[in-house]
Amino acid sequence: MKKIFMPAVAAIAIMLSACGNNDITLKKAFEDHFLIGTAMNGMQISGTDPQALPFIASQFNSVTAENEMKWERIHPEPGVYNFGLADSIVDFAEQNGMKVIGHTLVWHSQTPRWVFQDSLGNQLTRDALLERMREHIHTVVGHYKGRVLGWDVVNEALNEDGTLRNTKWLEIIGEDYIEKAFIFANEADPDAELYYNDYNIEEPAKLAGVIPIIENLQAKGIRIDGVGIQGHWHLDSPDLAIIDESIGLYGALGIKVMITEMEINVLPTPTRFFGAEISNMGAYLDSLNPYVEGLPDSVQMLLTNRYEEVFRILLKHDDLITRVTFWGVHDGYSWKNGWPIPGRTNYPLLFNRDYTPKPAYDAVIREVKKLK
């Protein structure tokens, strides 16, 4: 039986009244430009936070399962599939007229060790791992056939220098594991869009690695519909010109461009942690967590200006960009509170922990209003 998610009208009205732009929501403001999405998690969809669902329905028109469709959650053991929470997210989205993004099918992280082993714990052969990949993709994508707009088929396959990351997928199958993943996804749902998704791929070295992957798929007649620039950005990096140029270069390949996991980190972070490799963690220091009591006005202004500048670029390319997804509903839900330094208090999104909008929210609304 499907769960029915009824938006709490009163709660929505209270939340919207806090916005400084005539109650214009994000999805309304950007409806003529691109989808505006958010990552959703199990706490929200299970109702633990009663404010979450009505707020998500009011502000966004696209949702991505932050973790509930990853291999370790949806397929934790051989022959065992847990679709419950992911199904609830899809049900919620459909009942509120929202698009669903499936995340993710083939990734080196959050994939159980057994995926690469036989029943005796020995490493699989190439053919055996390809069959396991095919079965997983066909089962998961097939389960949501016709209900998911698009899938992050392969996630984070590259090193920072643009070379292929040394993963079990690459080690056992070889470089064509990416091709096979897209072929299997297309077989499972020919109508769903298929994406390559990665972080730092606006940077020249990594961009130079992504473009040949896309061109190779296209040359072989293997469908790829878009590229996801994750957008795990900072107050002072990457350079705005790099973001601008990369969008144009990807768009020139004839594919859709998306910003898929956007936030702007405000905390001091050593450069070795730039990116989104979840296994790369550092030790806690008070000096790396300076805003426990709240974000100073001076930093709030920097965040506001940064969002304004970034959205100016995104709107410039609204003929190429089809979606911008924030990686969290509000600051309290951001993974940046726990990565790359655990136990910090970060403020990387447009909404405060009490769901009120920040000055950065007003700034991006003002930016889109300039085009009306």
Domains in the chain, number: 1
Task: Give residue 356's domain range.
Answer: 9-369
Q: Is residue 2, in this structure, part of any structural domain at all? A: no
- Alpha helices, DSSP H, located in the chain: 9-17, 26-29, 42-45, 52-59, 71-74, 84-95, 126-143, 168-173, 177-188, 204-219, 240-251, 297-316, 359-369
Q: How many residues are present in the chain?
A: 372
CATH of the domain at 341: 3.20.20.80
CA atoms within 13 A on the CB side of 184: 24
Q: Is residue 256, in this structure, part of any structural domain at all? A: yes
> What pTM was estimated for this model as a whole?
0.93
Q: Is residue 306, in this structure, part of any structural domain at all? A: yes
290, with CB counted inside 10 A (0-12, 13-18, 19+), is middle
pLDDT tens for the chain, residues 1 to 372: 445 454 444 444 444 444 455 479 999 999 999 999 999 999 999 999 999 999 999 999 999 999 999 999 999 999 999 999 999 999 999 999 999 999 999 999 999 999 999 999 999 999 999 999 999 999 999 999 999 999 999 999 999 999 999 999 999 999 999 999 999 999 999 999 999 999 999 999 999 999 999 999 999 999 999 999 999 999 999 999 999 999 999 999 999 999 999 999 999 987 666 676 777 788 888 999 999 999 999 999 999 999 999 999 999 999 999 999 999 999 999 999 998 899 999 999 999 999 999 999 999 999 999 997
Choose among 233, 219, 206: nearest CA to 314. Answer: 233
Is residue 196 helix, strand or coil?
Answer: strand
Q: Is residue 17, in this structure, part of any structural domain at all? A: yes
Which residues belong to the active site?
Answer: 156, 261
Q: Is residue 4, in this structure, part of any structural domain at all? A: no
Q: Is residue 45, in this structure, part of any structural domain at all? A: yes
Q: Is residue 3, in this structure, part of any structural domain at all? A: no
Q: Is residue 1, in this structure, part of any structural domain at all? A: no
